[in-house]
Amino acid sequence: MPYFYGEMVTGVAFPTCKFLKEIKLNPIPQTHRSKAVKVGIIDLITKKPTNALYAKIMNPNSASIMPQVVAAWAEELGHEVHLVTYTGFEDLRRELPNNIDILFVCAFTQAAFLAYSISNLFRKQNVVTVLGGPHARAYAEDAKNYFDYVIGFADKTLICDLLQGFSRHPDEGVMLSAQRQPHALPGVRARWKFIRQTLDKTRFFKIVPMIGSLGCPYHCSFCIDSQIEYQTLPYDEIREDLVFLQTQFKQAAVGWHDPNFGVRFDDYMGIIEEAVKPGAIRFVFRLDRETSGLVLVAKHPAAARELRALWERREVVKYYIAIVHGQVAADMLGEQSIDHSE
């Protein structure tokens, strides 16, 4: 039985993603490499250095999943991979080897200036740089001025092709994207090497990132995922990951990176109850970095059962607040409930 429940309560607006529909994507040059390359990956959890105790404890628990996925894919393809999760305490110039061939950076928009600076530093060393993550999808046109490649959707085929045929683009970056989100991602077991090295940065609280779906079934105009087809990830893999985690920790904590957990609530809870021994794993829902909100924590099993019942009966009311710059046009104002049956 999970003891931690969370739900996004308030949100901020960010631009609709026109990356895939309006931008002509360029093919990857066919200058294939037959040897392995040295791949650097930086997951920007924060935008600047910090000495805060809270950041020391919690930032390593906010690691993104896709940088770990790209790292796992690159290793499976035979490349040498160095992943750094930047929590505000690392010296990135020392964390990565000097002789990497290509650098992937995952960034939210709050960390965009840091991402641009990192790219500039490594491009001066003749390293090819690639931007992925929310900022790449929301502000691709801007990002291509600072990176050699900007990625929308990434699957293993795209990463494979890129690592075989990348080159420098100093004048203007190349925008790449798979046709859709991948049908499956490397699970916790496949990403464990990279998960573990990040969790080793904190001693008190270790949360393993998992996800159950991609895209979104709703069509909110302010969200970059509103145009992305909703899909669940394979249930068998989720079940296997939960079983695996129980072999790694006496009591594991899972951070569910899934804003649409409630869409398949019964399915996910069925998997959890089937795979997890009572009290073996605690669950908390991570809020997107682009979103502000609250996390509701059950302090004991009885409270967890009651909270779960509230969610199952859909008796929890949530309000979303969008913060925008300037004046909102009158025809964009109004109130509308989300139809959960769609």
Average pLDDT over residues 169-185: 94
Burial of 104 (0-12, 13-18, 19+ CB in 10 A): buried
pLDDT 10s digits, 226-236: 778 889 999 99
Helix orientation angle between 188-199 and 235-245, rounded to the nearest 10 degrees: 40
Closest-CA residue to 22 (of 204, 197, 247, 177): 177
Phi and psi for 119 in degrees, rounded to 5? -60, -45
| pLDDT given for residue 87 in this prediction | 95
What is the predicted pLDDT for the residue at 258?
80
Average pLDDT, the chain: 82
- The phi and psi torsions of 129 (rounded to 5 degrees) equal -115, 145
- pLDDT band for position 51 (cuts 50, 70, 90): very high
Residues 164-178 have a mean pLDDT of 95
Query: Does the model's pTM come out above 0.85?
Result: no
Say what the pLDDT of residue 221 is.
73
Position 93 pLDDT exceeds 70? yes
pLDDT at 297: 62
Phi, psi torsion values for 73, nearest 5 degrees: -60, -45
> According to the model, what pLDDT value does residue 3 have?
30
Average pLDDT rounded to a whole number, residues 85-94: 92
